[in-house]
Amino acid sequence: MTNTRIPKKWFQFGLLAAVTISMMVYAYWPSPYIIYRPGSAEEVRPMIHLEEAYTEEAGAFMLTTVNVLSNANTATYWYMKWFQKHAQFFPEEEIFREGESHEEYRERQGYNMMNSQSMAALAAYEAADVAYALHTEQVIVLGVQDGFPAEKALDAGDILLEVNGEQAEDTETVAKLIQQHEVGDDVKITFERNEEVREAAITLVELSGGTDNARPGIGVTMGNVVEVVPDDEGKIVTIDAGSIGGPSAGLMFAMEIYNQLVPEDVTKGYRIAGTGEINGSGEVGRIGGVRHKVLAADRENADLFFCPASNGKEAMAAAAAIGTKMKVVPVSTMDEVLAYLDQLPTKVERSN
Protein backbone atom coordinates (compact mmCIF):
# COMPACT_ATOMS: atom_id res chain seq x y z
CA MET A 1 0.00 0.00 0.00
CA THR A 2 1.32 3.47 -0.95
CA ASN A 3 1.79 6.10 1.81
CA THR A 4 -0.01 9.31 0.66
CA ARG A 5 0.51 11.36 3.82
CA ILE A 6 2.04 14.79 3.23
CA PRO A 7 5.43 15.14 4.97
CA LYS A 8 5.22 17.38 8.03
CA LYS A 9 7.80 19.87 6.74
CA TRP A 10 5.81 20.40 3.51
CA PHE A 11 2.62 20.91 5.48
CA GLN A 12 4.37 23.53 7.65
CA PHE A 13 5.82 25.23 4.58
CA GLY A 14 2.39 25.37 2.93
CA LEU A 15 0.80 26.76 6.07
CA LEU A 16 3.51 29.43 6.37
CA ALA A 17 3.11 30.37 2.72
CA ALA A 18 -0.68 30.67 3.11
CA VAL A 19 -0.32 32.86 6.19
CA THR A 20 2.31 35.04 4.48
CA ILE A 21 0.16 35.54 1.37
CA SER A 22 -2.89 36.32 3.51
CA MET A 23 -0.93 38.94 5.46
CA MET A 24 0.39 40.53 2.26
CA VAL A 25 -3.12 40.69 0.80
CA TYR A 26 -4.38 42.21 4.06
CA ALA A 27 -1.54 44.75 4.12
CA TYR A 28 -1.81 45.90 0.51
CA TRP A 29 -5.53 45.52 -0.23
CA PRO A 30 -6.91 49.02 -0.79
CA SER A 31 -9.37 50.42 1.72
CA PRO A 32 -12.54 52.11 0.34
CA TYR A 33 -12.16 54.95 2.83
CA ILE A 34 -10.62 58.42 2.81
CA ILE A 35 -8.96 59.17 6.16
CA TYR A 36 -8.76 62.67 7.64
CA ARG A 37 -6.31 63.59 10.43
CA PRO A 38 -5.12 66.89 11.90
CA GLY A 39 -2.61 68.52 9.57
CA SER A 40 -0.53 71.65 10.07
CA ALA A 41 -0.95 75.33 10.86
CA GLU A 42 1.52 77.34 8.79
CA GLU A 43 2.30 81.05 8.68
CA VAL A 44 1.10 82.54 5.42
CA ARG A 45 3.46 85.54 5.28
CA PRO A 46 6.44 83.61 3.79
CA MET A 47 4.14 82.26 1.04
CA ILE A 48 3.05 85.72 -0.19
CA HIS A 49 5.20 88.08 -2.23
CA LEU A 50 4.46 91.68 -3.27
CA GLU A 51 7.12 94.13 -4.46
CA GLU A 52 5.55 97.07 -2.60
CA ALA A 53 4.35 95.58 0.66
CA TYR A 54 4.13 96.13 4.40
CA THR A 55 5.77 92.84 5.36
CA GLU A 56 6.50 93.28 9.06
CA GLU A 57 3.78 91.79 11.25
CA ALA A 58 3.64 91.76 15.01
CA GLY A 59 1.41 88.69 14.86
CA ALA A 60 0.73 86.13 12.12
CA PHE A 61 -1.95 84.72 9.85
CA MET A 62 -1.86 80.93 9.62
CA LEU A 63 -3.57 78.63 7.16
CA THR A 64 -4.60 75.22 8.49
CA THR A 65 -4.61 71.88 6.72
CA VAL A 66 -6.00 68.37 6.97
CA ASN A 67 -3.76 65.35 6.52
CA VAL A 68 -5.69 63.33 3.92
CA LEU A 69 -4.95 59.68 3.15
CA SER A 70 -6.82 58.98 -0.08
CA ASN A 71 -5.30 55.60 -0.95
CA ALA A 72 -4.87 53.91 2.42
CA ASN A 73 -4.55 50.11 2.48
CA THR A 74 -6.45 47.84 4.87
CA ALA A 75 -3.59 47.63 7.36
CA THR A 76 -3.35 51.43 7.53
CA TYR A 77 -7.12 51.67 7.96
CA TRP A 78 -7.11 49.42 11.03
CA TYR A 79 -4.01 51.06 12.49
CA MET A 80 -5.74 54.44 12.26
CA LYS A 81 -8.95 52.98 13.65
CA TRP A 82 -7.22 51.54 16.72
CA PHE A 83 -4.43 54.00 17.49
CA GLN A 84 -5.33 57.43 16.01
CA LYS A 85 -8.13 58.87 18.13
CA HIS A 86 -8.57 61.95 15.91
CA ALA A 87 -8.77 60.02 12.62
CA GLN A 88 -12.02 60.43 10.71
CA PHE A 89 -13.19 58.00 8.02
CA PHE A 90 -15.28 58.78 4.92
CA PRO A 91 -16.44 56.39 2.18
CA GLU A 92 -14.75 57.40 -1.09
CA GLU A 93 -18.08 58.31 -2.68
CA GLU A 94 -18.53 61.10 -0.09
CA ILE A 95 -15.25 62.76 -1.13
CA PHE A 96 -14.75 61.81 -4.78
CA ARG A 97 -17.13 62.89 -7.51
CA GLU A 98 -18.94 60.16 -9.43
CA GLY A 99 -16.42 58.28 -11.58
CA GLU A 100 -13.53 60.45 -10.34
CA SER A 101 -10.13 58.76 -10.07
CA HIS A 102 -7.47 59.46 -7.44
CA GLU A 103 -5.47 61.36 -10.07
CA GLU A 104 -8.48 63.48 -11.04
CA TYR A 105 -9.19 64.20 -7.37
CA ARG A 106 -5.62 65.43 -6.88
CA GLU A 107 -5.87 67.53 -10.05
CA ARG A 108 -9.15 69.05 -8.84
CA GLN A 109 -7.58 69.90 -5.49
CA GLY A 110 -4.62 71.52 -7.25
CA TYR A 111 -6.97 73.56 -9.42
CA ASN A 112 -8.99 74.57 -6.36
CA MET A 113 -5.80 75.83 -4.74
CA MET A 114 -4.90 77.91 -7.81
CA ASN A 115 -8.41 79.32 -7.97
CA SER A 116 -8.41 80.09 -4.23
CA GLN A 117 -5.23 82.13 -4.68
CA SER A 118 -6.79 84.18 -7.47
CA MET A 119 -10.00 84.74 -5.48
CA ALA A 120 -7.98 85.67 -2.38
CA ALA A 121 -6.06 88.31 -4.33
CA LEU A 122 -9.32 89.60 -5.82
CA ALA A 123 -11.01 89.83 -2.39
CA ALA A 124 -7.95 91.57 -0.90
CA TYR A 125 -7.76 94.09 -3.75
CA GLU A 126 -11.46 94.85 -3.31
CA ALA A 127 -11.05 95.35 0.45
CA ALA A 128 -7.92 97.51 0.05
CA ASP A 129 -9.41 99.50 -2.88
CA VAL A 130 -6.72 98.42 -5.36
CA ALA A 131 -7.64 98.73 -9.07
CA TYR A 132 -7.25 95.51 -11.10
CA ALA A 133 -8.26 93.60 -14.24
CA LEU A 134 -9.23 89.93 -14.68
CA HIS A 135 -7.77 87.61 -17.33
CA THR A 136 -8.35 83.91 -18.01
CA GLU A 137 -4.85 82.52 -18.07
CA GLN A 138 -5.67 78.98 -19.22
CA VAL A 139 -8.37 76.33 -19.48
CA ILE A 140 -7.49 73.15 -17.64
CA VAL A 141 -8.98 69.64 -17.83
CA LEU A 142 -10.16 68.61 -14.37
CA GLY A 143 -11.57 65.21 -15.27
CA VAL A 144 -12.54 62.92 -18.13
CA GLN A 145 -15.78 60.92 -18.00
CA ASP A 146 -15.52 57.15 -18.33
CA GLY A 147 -16.70 55.79 -21.65
CA PHE A 148 -16.63 59.13 -23.49
CA PRO A 149 -14.41 59.95 -26.51
CA ALA A 150 -12.06 62.28 -24.62
CA GLU A 151 -11.02 59.37 -22.40
CA LYS A 152 -8.59 58.09 -25.04
CA ALA A 153 -7.00 61.48 -25.73
CA LEU A 154 -7.09 63.77 -22.69
CA ASP A 155 -6.00 63.46 -19.07
CA ALA A 156 -6.71 65.51 -15.96
CA GLY A 157 -4.22 68.37 -15.88
CA ASP A 158 -4.05 68.91 -19.66
CA ILE A 159 -4.25 72.55 -20.74
CA LEU A 160 -6.65 73.20 -23.63
CA LEU A 161 -5.19 75.55 -26.24
CA GLU A 162 -7.37 75.36 -29.37
CA VAL A 163 -10.52 73.77 -30.80
CA ASN A 164 -10.24 73.33 -34.58
CA GLY A 165 -7.55 75.99 -34.68
CA GLU A 166 -9.50 78.59 -32.66
CA GLN A 167 -8.15 79.75 -29.32
CA ALA A 168 -9.61 78.19 -26.16
CA GLU A 169 -10.02 81.50 -24.34
CA ASP A 170 -12.15 80.12 -21.50
CA THR A 171 -14.49 77.21 -20.70
CA GLU A 172 -17.48 79.01 -22.23
CA THR A 173 -15.59 79.55 -25.49
CA VAL A 174 -14.52 75.88 -25.62
CA ALA A 175 -18.14 74.76 -25.15
CA LYS A 176 -19.38 77.11 -27.89
CA LEU A 177 -16.69 75.99 -30.35
CA ILE A 178 -17.59 72.34 -29.76
CA GLN A 179 -21.33 72.92 -29.98
CA GLN A 180 -20.98 74.56 -33.40
CA HIS A 181 -20.62 71.00 -34.71
CA GLU A 182 -22.88 67.96 -34.86
CA VAL A 183 -22.80 64.63 -33.06
CA GLY A 184 -20.49 62.34 -35.06
CA ASP A 185 -18.21 65.15 -36.27
CA ASP A 186 -14.52 65.09 -35.41
CA VAL A 187 -13.01 68.13 -33.70
CA LYS A 188 -9.29 68.76 -33.46
CA ILE A 189 -8.25 69.56 -29.89
CA THR A 190 -4.84 71.16 -29.36
CA PHE A 191 -3.59 70.83 -25.80
CA GLU A 192 -0.49 70.97 -23.65
CA ARG A 193 0.74 68.13 -21.44
CA ASN A 194 4.01 68.22 -19.52
CA GLU A 195 5.06 71.33 -21.50
CA GLU A 196 4.54 69.46 -24.80
CA VAL A 197 1.91 70.63 -27.30
CA ARG A 198 -0.20 67.79 -28.71
CA GLU A 199 -3.20 67.33 -30.98
CA ALA A 200 -6.06 64.81 -30.99
CA ALA A 201 -9.11 64.31 -33.23
CA ILE A 202 -12.09 63.53 -31.00
CA THR A 203 -15.50 62.41 -32.25
CA LEU A 204 -18.44 64.25 -30.74
CA VAL A 205 -21.17 62.33 -28.95
CA GLU A 206 -24.45 63.45 -27.45
CA LEU A 207 -24.25 64.58 -23.84
CA SER A 208 -27.51 63.97 -22.04
CA GLY A 209 -28.83 66.93 -20.14
CA GLY A 210 -32.53 66.31 -20.44
CA THR A 211 -34.65 66.56 -23.59
CA ASP A 212 -34.17 70.30 -23.92
CA ASN A 213 -30.45 70.28 -23.12
CA ALA A 214 -28.97 67.45 -25.20
CA ARG A 215 -25.81 68.72 -26.86
CA PRO A 216 -22.65 67.52 -28.62
CA GLY A 217 -19.58 67.08 -26.45
CA ILE A 218 -16.46 65.05 -25.70
CA GLY A 219 -17.00 64.25 -22.00
CA VAL A 220 -14.62 66.48 -20.02
CA THR A 221 -14.86 68.67 -16.94
CA MET A 222 -12.97 71.95 -17.36
CA GLY A 223 -11.99 74.91 -15.23
CA ASN A 224 -10.68 78.43 -15.89
CA VAL A 225 -7.43 79.51 -14.27
CA VAL A 226 -8.08 83.21 -13.64
CA GLU A 227 -5.31 85.78 -13.24
CA VAL A 228 -5.98 88.95 -11.23
CA VAL A 229 -3.72 91.77 -12.45
CA PRO A 230 -3.53 95.04 -10.46
CA ASP A 231 -2.99 98.31 -12.31
CA ASP A 232 0.00 98.97 -10.03
CA GLU A 233 2.69 96.40 -10.91
CA GLY A 234 4.18 96.75 -7.45
CA LYS A 235 1.04 95.16 -6.03
CA ILE A 236 1.14 92.01 -8.17
CA VAL A 237 0.75 89.01 -5.85
CA THR A 238 2.55 85.70 -6.19
CA ILE A 239 1.83 82.82 -3.82
CA ASP A 240 3.94 79.75 -3.19
CA ALA A 241 2.00 77.28 -1.06
CA GLY A 242 4.10 74.22 -1.91
CA SER A 243 2.13 70.98 -2.07
CA ILE A 244 -0.93 72.28 -0.19
CA GLY A 245 -4.12 71.68 -2.20
CA GLY A 246 -7.80 72.55 -2.01
CA PRO A 247 -9.67 75.85 -1.71
CA SER A 248 -9.84 76.25 2.06
CA ALA A 249 -6.76 78.48 2.49
CA GLY A 250 -8.50 81.27 0.58
CA LEU A 251 -9.58 83.31 3.60
CA MET A 252 -6.14 83.32 5.20
CA PHE A 253 -4.45 84.13 1.88
CA ALA A 254 -6.82 87.08 1.46
CA MET A 255 -6.14 88.36 4.97
CA GLU A 256 -2.37 88.18 4.56
CA ILE A 257 -2.46 89.85 1.14
CA TYR A 258 -4.67 92.60 2.56
CA ASN A 259 -2.31 93.08 5.50
CA GLN A 260 0.62 93.56 3.13
CA LEU A 261 -1.34 96.12 1.12
CA VAL A 262 -2.32 98.43 3.98
CA PRO A 263 -0.13 100.40 6.41
CA GLU A 264 -1.90 99.25 9.59
CA ASP A 265 -1.12 95.77 10.94
CA VAL A 266 -4.50 94.11 11.32
CA THR A 267 -2.98 91.17 13.24
CA LYS A 268 -2.34 93.54 16.19
CA GLY A 269 0.17 91.02 17.51
CA TYR A 270 -2.19 88.02 17.61
CA ARG A 271 -1.54 84.59 16.16
CA ILE A 272 -4.54 84.17 13.87
CA ALA A 273 -5.37 80.84 12.30
CA GLY A 274 -8.30 80.04 10.09
CA THR A 275 -9.88 78.31 7.17
CA GLY A 276 -12.53 78.99 4.54
CA GLU A 277 -13.02 79.14 0.81
CA ILE A 278 -13.40 82.71 -0.42
CA ASN A 279 -14.82 84.29 -3.57
CA GLY A 280 -13.96 87.61 -5.18
CA SER A 281 -16.66 89.39 -3.19
CA GLY A 282 -15.10 88.26 0.10
CA GLU A 283 -17.82 85.73 0.96
CA VAL A 284 -16.52 82.81 3.04
CA GLY A 285 -17.74 79.33 2.07
CA ARG A 286 -18.02 76.01 3.89
CA ILE A 287 -15.04 73.62 3.97
CA GLY A 288 -14.33 70.06 5.10
CA GLY A 289 -12.30 68.75 8.02
CA VAL A 290 -12.72 71.78 10.28
CA ARG A 291 -12.30 69.77 13.50
CA HIS A 292 -8.82 68.69 12.39
CA LYS A 293 -7.88 72.27 11.56
CA VAL A 294 -8.93 73.41 15.03
CA LEU A 295 -6.49 70.89 16.53
CA ALA A 296 -3.72 71.99 14.15
CA ALA A 297 -4.25 75.65 15.08
CA ASP A 298 -4.23 74.88 18.81
CA ARG A 299 -0.94 73.00 18.48
CA GLU A 300 0.63 76.18 17.02
CA ASN A 301 -0.67 78.32 19.90
CA ALA A 302 -3.15 80.33 17.86
CA ASP A 303 -5.07 83.02 19.74
CA LEU A 304 -7.96 83.10 17.24
CA PHE A 305 -9.46 80.67 14.74
CA PHE A 306 -11.72 82.06 12.00
CA CYS A 307 -13.94 79.58 10.17
CA PRO A 308 -17.00 79.69 7.88
CA ALA A 309 -20.23 80.32 9.78
CA SER A 310 -21.61 77.05 8.38
CA ASN A 311 -18.74 75.18 10.08
CA GLY A 312 -19.08 77.11 13.35
CA LYS A 313 -20.84 74.50 15.52
CA GLU A 314 -18.40 71.73 14.57
CA ALA A 315 -15.39 74.00 15.11
CA MET A 316 -16.57 75.18 18.54
CA ALA A 317 -17.35 71.61 19.58
CA ALA A 318 -13.83 70.53 18.58
CA ALA A 319 -12.33 73.43 20.53
CA ALA A 320 -14.38 72.58 23.62
CA ALA A 321 -13.36 68.90 23.39
CA ILE A 322 -9.64 69.75 23.70
CA GLY A 323 -10.11 72.56 26.21
CA THR A 324 -8.24 75.14 24.15
CA LYS A 325 -8.00 78.80 25.15
CA MET A 326 -8.11 79.71 21.46
CA LYS A 327 -11.19 81.71 20.46
CA VAL A 328 -13.23 80.25 17.58
CA VAL A 329 -14.91 82.95 15.48
CA PRO A 330 -17.40 81.88 12.77
CA VAL A 331 -17.70 84.41 9.91
CA SER A 332 -19.56 84.76 6.62
CA THR A 333 -17.39 87.42 4.96
CA MET A 334 -13.90 88.85 5.00
CA ASP A 335 -15.38 92.15 6.18
CA GLU A 336 -16.56 90.38 9.35
CA VAL A 337 -12.99 89.23 10.03
CA LEU A 338 -11.69 92.75 9.59
CA ALA A 339 -14.42 94.17 11.84
CA TYR A 340 -13.67 91.61 14.56
CA LEU A 341 -9.94 92.36 14.49
CA ASP A 342 -10.59 96.11 14.45
CA GLN A 343 -12.34 95.98 17.84
CA LEU A 344 -9.55 93.97 19.52
CA PRO A 345 -7.03 95.74 21.75
CA THR A 346 -3.54 95.89 20.25
CA LYS A 347 -1.25 93.21 21.63
CA VAL A 348 1.95 94.26 19.82
CA GLU A 349 2.51 97.09 17.32
CA ARG A 350 3.83 96.63 13.77
CA SER A 351 7.46 97.70 13.56
CA ASN A 352 7.45 99.44 10.17
CB 41 within 8 A of CB 302: yes
CA-based nearest residue to 309, from 272, 342, 326, 334: 334
Catalytic residues: 248, 293
User: Residue 2: is it exposed, middle or buried by C-beta count within 10 angstroms (0-12/13-18/19+)?
Assistant: exposed
